[in-house]
Chain A
Amino acid sequence: MQKEMAYSFPDEVLKHVFSFIQSDKDRNAVSLVCKSWYEIERWCRRKVFIGNCYAVSPRMVIRRFPEVRSIELKGKPHFADFNLVPDGWGGYVLQWIAEMAGAYPWLGEIRLKRMVVTDESLELIAKSFKNFKVLVLFSCEGFSTDGLAAIAASCKNLRELDLRESEVDDLSGHWLAQFPETCTSLVSLNISCLGSDEVSFSALERLVDRCPNLRSLQLNRAVTLDKIANILRRAPQLVDFGTGNYAAELQPDVFSNLAGAFSSCKELKSLSGFWDVVPAYLPALYSICPRLTSLNLSYATIQSPDLIKLVSHCPRLQRLLVLDYVEDSGLEELASSCKDLQELRVFPSDPFGVEPNVSLTEQGLVAVSLGCPKLQSVLYFCRRMSNAALVTIAQNCPNLTRFRLCIIEPKTPDYLTLDPLDAGFGAIVEHCKDLRRLSLSGLLTDHVFEYIGTYGKKLEMLSVAFAGDSDLGLHHVLSGCESLRKLEIRDCPFGDKALLANAAKLETMRSLWMSSCAVSFGACKLLGQKMPKLNVEVIDETEPPDSRPESYPVDKLYIYRSVAGPRFDMPPFVWSMDEAVKILH
């Protein structure tokens, strides 16, 4: 007893020390040291991140961490972005808000991704949390401007309201006017996802006027070019700005007003928006281009020559999002002008066209890999690729952490040799030792998975489509990728063998999605039976999976680890393979 006391610190001291530990990983490690550290840590944890809202229940979180001030939740699987998850699947936040309303009166920050947020949830947030500061709804849906009005009206100290990529029901344009005159605390406002009539511009102007700390503002498409200058002159301290529309008939006074307004923003580093661009107005940006580190032109349908001109003025660019109108020539210019480039995303302007409509090939990406040594993150849509190009890219950019390649036509081989692209992607995983995220495309055999399993030791997320020959492919990944957290697969010939042989692996991952593969209903049931810590959910919109033979493959399968047991908010087309649930049915 005496010895223990000599070595132990008072709780207050430990609490103080722990307050310097911010990362979740470190906090989790601290809580495992001993029972008393677990206790102290849980009382002073202020931030919780829940990567899958069904992995744990609100009650369990509240029980363990009673003093949380900030919560982040993610709902639907990533493939929901591409319409593979049917409407009504789940991801409802209401229950979480309801329970936290009682337990966390001081909750100040809610960040949600791919969740269904109703107006009722927003109204509950507005009335429950007196110190509410940050609301981020990333890729969410289910709410309207009525819910936003409630937030605006009640949250006296709101700092951040970010609705990026969310779907909002347009009911009234006047919700912005609900921010009281006394609200001067806004730091970040992102309303870029709102449709045409949802924003009262005069209310917006007045809001911007009275918020001197506003650093980040993303307007929606309805805001016309001539209004940009008004906004910028009221907020010259902006660091991050999203324009609305960037199109208008060229008028010298409008141009010079705009150019003047931009040049007064000495802190501006990041630009986005740019719907409907008239190239003649791009030079209005030239005064700030030398300071720009991030540029999102992924909605701008401007052609390569105009893009080249703009990009050549931005030597400090670190992040560029652009449509494939940039073409190989534009990327070559990027490679020679922007030596600090870390992230490049090239989106397809005509994803469903059968013929290529632009001259963008693997050459553009190769050029960037050669010219930009700091390149870390790539998302690239193109129509042809070669193993040689991929090998070159891998050798030029060993620091890649994210590599997502989408060759638009499924199963496209190396266009030079007609071989599968196994060797190319193999080079990527072999050379890029810190690769955390990888998306595959093109013609691929089981060999590519062998490479991935052998070299992808830091890989956390893998996306696979129309690839592989047999279960061996899936087995390589599940048995080899030690850091794997998220695996999503569609249209691959992977069946029961690899899944069942690697069942234990699934408990070390956040989730596995498989659709249009060859996993049988019987295997799903077996997994559900044998692995109580996994929720095994079968999605089938046409008919119940048990109306067919057990050997019949399921349409969609979503498996995730959970300490909360099976969920009870499943729609009729989702079946849980958990034994207990089946008995209740």
Chain B
Amino acid sequence: MENSVAYEKATELRLGLPGIDEPAVLSSVKNNKRPLHDEKSGENGKSAQNETAPPSKAQIVGWPPVQSYRKNNFQQAKKSESECGGIYVKVSMDGAPYLRKIDLKVYKGYPELLQVLENMFKFTIGEYSEREGYKGSDYEPTYEDKDGDWMLVGDVPWEMFITSCKRLRIMKGSEARGLSCSGV
């Protein structure tokens, strides 16, 4: 490539005075004691002087490049969400590449919640029955309660549900079957 030839020529024109031990300067990349961004280890944007383990991915200084006042503003928004008295829970669906968040306080009962979930993730939930859970669909809405147990959505009264639900997961396939048969 023409450009690389020019580059090589250009780098032959050194800036240093004649007689200076230039290889030391030009080969500094090889003598580099500090590990540069290593593809395998976590991204480390900090100084090599730091002898501790490289920070986890979420802690690269100044990355992603979002200005602090934006970050501060958003954190304040998150705070006010809970201050407003909403009950926000994350919703995941097996197979979908993203999570959603919904405010359980906004809904009056299970039918409304299920309708919203169907719209959000574009799928259909089957018919609910106390004995057999959700029939007629590959998907079943489940939730994790305060005790850390995964429960089928609909088994407890609505008021109890919204106070004990930590997060929602729309399960797909056989895993879902298992829950509905477990019944207390």
Could you tell me which residues of chain A, from 482 to 518, have a CB within 8 Å of some CB in chain B?
490-491, 493, 495-498, 500-503, 515-516, 518
Number of A-B contacts defined by CB within 8 Å: 170
Contact B65 A299 (CB under 8 A): no
Contact A501 B11 (CB under 8 A): yes
Once the chains are docked, how many angstroms separate the CA of A453 from the CA of B97?
A: 37
Residue of A nearest to B98 (CB): A356
The interface residues of chain B lying within 8 Å CB-to-CB of A453 are: 3
Contact A550 B62 (CB under 8 A): no
Q: Mark contacts of A390-424 with chain B using CB atoms, 8 A cut-off: 1 yes-contact digit, 0 otherwise.
A: 00000000000000001011110000000000000
* Nearest CB on A from B127, distance (A): 27
Once the chains are docked, how many angstroms separate the CA of A465 from the CA of B66?
A: 14
Contact A299 B16 (CB under 8 A): no
Once the chains are docked, how many angstroms separate the CA of A408 from the CA of B99?
A: 17
Knowing A355-B99, A495-B29, say if A475 contacts B15 (CB, 8 Å): no
Residue A520, interface by CB 8 Å: yes
Contact B98 A355 (CB under 8 A): yes
Contact B74 A526 (CB under 8 A): no
Residue A354, interface by CB 8 Å: yes
The interface residues of chain B lying within 8 Å CB-to-CB of A475 are: 7, 10-11
Residue A352, interface by CB 8 Å: yes
Residue B67, interface by CB 8 Å: yes
CB-contact partner of A347 in B43, B60, B70, B100, under 8 A: B70
Q: Which of B32-40, B107-115, B135-143, B165-173 contacts A (4 or more CB under 8 A)?
A: B32-40
CB-contact partner of A496 in B25, B73, B80, under 8 A: B25
**Interface range, A side:** 35 or more
Contact B101 A496 (CB under 8 A): no
The interface residues of chain A lying within 8 Å CB-to-CB of B6 are: 479
Total contacting residues, chain B, CB less than 8 A:
55
Once the chains are docked, how many angstroms separate the CA of A555 from the CA of B16?
A: 23
Once the chains are docked, how many angstroms separate the CA of A83 from the CA of B46?
A: 12
CB-contact partner of A495 in B28, B39, B57, B100, under 8 A: B28
Contact B77 A518 (CB under 8 A): no
Residue A244, interface by CB 8 Å: no
Residue A276, interface by CB 8 Å: yes
Contact A276 B101 (CB under 8 A): no
Once the chains are docked, how many angstroms separate the CA of A406 from the CA of B65?
A: 8
Once the chains are docked, how many angstroms separate the CA of A450 from the CA of B3?
A: 8
Residue A455, interface by CB 8 Å: no
Once the chains are docked, how many angstroms separate the CA of A87 from the CA of B137?
A: 58
Residue B148, interface by CB 8 Å: no
The interface residues of chain A lying within 8 Å CB-to-CB of B66 are: 82, 347-348, 351, 381
Contact B29 A298 (CB under 8 A): no
Contact A542 B61 (CB under 8 A): no
The interface residues of chain B lying within 8 Å CB-to-CB of A527 are: 15
Once the chains are docked, how many angstroms separate the CA of A495 from the CA of B11?
A: 12
Residue of B nearest to A548 (CB): B33
Residue B174, interface by CB 8 Å: no
Once the chains are docked, how many angstroms separate the CA of A490 from the CA of B36?
A: 11
Residue B126, interface by CB 8 Å: no
The interface residues of chain A lying within 8 Å CB-to-CB of B62 are: 79, 82-84, 490
* Nearest CB on A from B48, distance (A): 8
Contact A518 B10 (CB under 8 A): no
